[in-house]
Amino acid sequence: MASFNTSVQPGDYFQTDTSIAETDRKSRKAANNKGDPVKFPTKILAVQVNYLFDASGDVLFVAEAGGSIKGLRLSTNEISSTPRGPQAPLTCLATQATKTASDPFTTMRIFAGCWDKSIWNYTFRFAEQTNQGRTVTEHTSFEAHRDFVKCLIVARTPDKQEILLSGGADGDIRFWTLDGQPCGSLKPASRGIEDLALDPLSSPDNPIVFFSTSKREIFSFALPEFSKLKTTQIQLSAPILAHETSVYKLHFDDDGDLWTASADKTAKHLSRNHNWASDTTLQHPDYVRDVVTHDGYGWVVTACRDEEIRVWYKATGDLHHIFTGHYEEVTGLALTNDLVISVSIDATLRRWSLAPADLQAAVDAAKNPQLLEQEPEPSNELPMLTEEEEAELRALMEEEESELLEKMAWDEQ
């Protein structure tokens, strides 16, 4: 009869102790109320301010790993939810609205990219003046990519046709009508498309789209007329090679310069006037997941896999303050008025004020920190992901890490 060695190896004790210590650390850190946290049912993978729903910027939408989109009104913490459609995590959001003179109602669409390789479309109709009818009238989906959808934007072609652009882990960019009909594609030979951004200073007659890849490059291209999307050979710009590996996020500031967040543990400022050369590098201890700017106050804000949100001087690149509160990786940022909104796979949304008096108070408080254990733990009576779903989500968030050493040499050729 075969025998089996069931003895415990020394490394097993080390792994167990490490796991227990990490669980204990997160449990203690989870007890803090910094950033006025709002708890959601499952991990949050994307956040977007929805000015179409509320022009004041008081309403946010989040995409959850549990497969739902939820809206949050910041002033009241009221949460609303779209009907459950997808059975897989939602990774990204885009919004579009249509208003005609003959129709008193506005039609708004929220698009969500999904792990199931599809794009989900939630349609709302509401009267702006009466604030009535803000409920989902339908939700549909269409198959979009050969792998999960990573990013979405809505853009207008030179002939004034609004279309949806999607980027996938399959390395393709695809063009869609707002009803989900395919109208063209672009294959830049990348492992994955990480982000899409419309150049805010490009002309409506010649809209320019930027995109970043998991191979490190940033490209741009001119969006052709709608009628030519399927037949035009779209020409890509020369690649911008500011980073060593995946570029997760692209953000244009008010000057039209580009800020980037990368898995090479940096965020960078790329100058439009110097052919997108990098002149500022913000070093981090881990992957940088997102970056936004508050141009009025001159701040750059970054989200890092180390659970922190950092505030930097835009003009000098010096670190000013670190907002601490999340107890898992921060996955996204949004800016509304003077608030930075952060979301995390700890399933919380938190808000941090950049108003001068509030930020100074945060800096002063950081010099005399309160013990996290003394703060009440946010209530969480809603179900989280299963162990299997947790493992799958972690695989998504660390996709580039597993390929980094293997691909680095090839990326740099």
CA distances from 290 to 12, 161, 344 (A): 35, 29, 11
Split into its structural domains, the chain has a count of 2
Query: Residue 48: which of 302, 335, 291 has the closest Cα?
Result: 335
List strands edge to edge, sheet with 247-252.
Answer: 247-252, 258-262, 266-271, 277-283
Exposure class string for 298-319: b at 16+ Cβ within 10 A, else e: ebbbbbbbbbbbbbbebeebee
Is 11 within a domain?
no
- Percent of the chain clearing pLDDT 70 (strictly above): 82
Structure tokens at 182: 């395919």
Identify the domain boundary among 143, 161, 193: 143
Residue 410: CA count within 13 A, CB half-sphere = 9
Let me know whether 37 and 76 are in one domain.
no
Q: What is the rounded end-to-end Cα distance, in angstroms, of the chain?
A: 55
- In the predicted model, is pLDDT for residue 313 greater than 80? yes
Let me know whether 250 and 324 are in one domain.
yes
Is 214 within a domain?
no
Please give the sequence-ordered ranges of beta strands (E in DSSP) within 83-168, or none if there are none: 90-98, 106-114, 118-127, 132-143, 149-156, 162-168
Q: How far apart are CA 82 and CA 354, in angstroms?
A: 31
Where residue 396 falls among pLDDT bands split at 50, 70, 90? low
Identify the domain boundary among 82, 112, 143: 143
Identify the domain boundary among 112, 143, 174: 143
**Per-residue pLDDT at 1:** 41
pLDDT top residue among 392 and 234: 234
pLDDT top residue among 276 and 401: 276
**Interval 300-320 mean pLDDT:** 97
- In the predicted model, is pLDDT for residue 96 greater than 50? yes
**Interval 181-186 mean pLDDT:** 95
Q: What is the CATH number of the domain that holds 347?
A: 2.130.10.10
**Per-residue pLDDT at 395:** 62
Let me know whether 246 and 383 are in one domain.
yes
Is 349 within a domain?
yes
Is 49 within a domain?
yes
Is 122 within a domain?
yes
- Percent of the chain clearing pLDDT 90 (strictly above): 69
Where residue 248 falls among pLDDT bands split at 50, 70, 90? very high
**Per-residue pLDDT at 406:** 46
Let me know whether 379 and 300 are in one domain.
yes
**Cβ distance 286 to 306 under 8 Å?**
yes
Q: CA 118, 122, 124: angle at the middle one, nearest 5?
A: 165
**Per-residue pLDDT at 343:** 98
Is 192 within a domain?
no
**Interval 18-23 mean pLDDT:** 72
> Using alpha carbons only, how large is the chain's radius of gyration in Å?
22
- pLDDT tens-place string over residues 65-92: 999 999 999 999 999 887 777 889 999 9
Let me know whether 34 and 91 are in one domain.
no
Looking up tokens 């449990």, which residue turns up? 27
Let me know whether 139 and 264 are in one domain.
no
Let me know whether 246 and 355 are in one domain.
yes
Write out the residue range of the structural domain in which residue 321 sits. 28-43+242-413
Is 109 within a domain?
yes
Let me know whether 35 and 131 are in one domain.
no
Is 149 within a domain?
no
385 CB neighbour count, 10 Å cutoff: 19
**Interval 198-203 mean pLDDT:** 98
| Sequence-distant (≥ 6) Cβ neighbours of residue 289 within 8 angstroms | 248, 249, 261, 303, 304, 305, 329, 330, 331, 332
- In the predicted model, is pLDDT for residue 27 greater than 80? no
Let me know whether 116 and 264 are in one domain.
no
Let me know whether 91 and 36 are in one domain.
no
Q: How far apart are CA 158 and CA 205, in angstroms?
A: 5
Mean per-residue pLDDT over the chain, rounded? 86
**Per-residue pLDDT at 249:** 98
**Cβ distance 135 to 122 under 8 Å?**
no
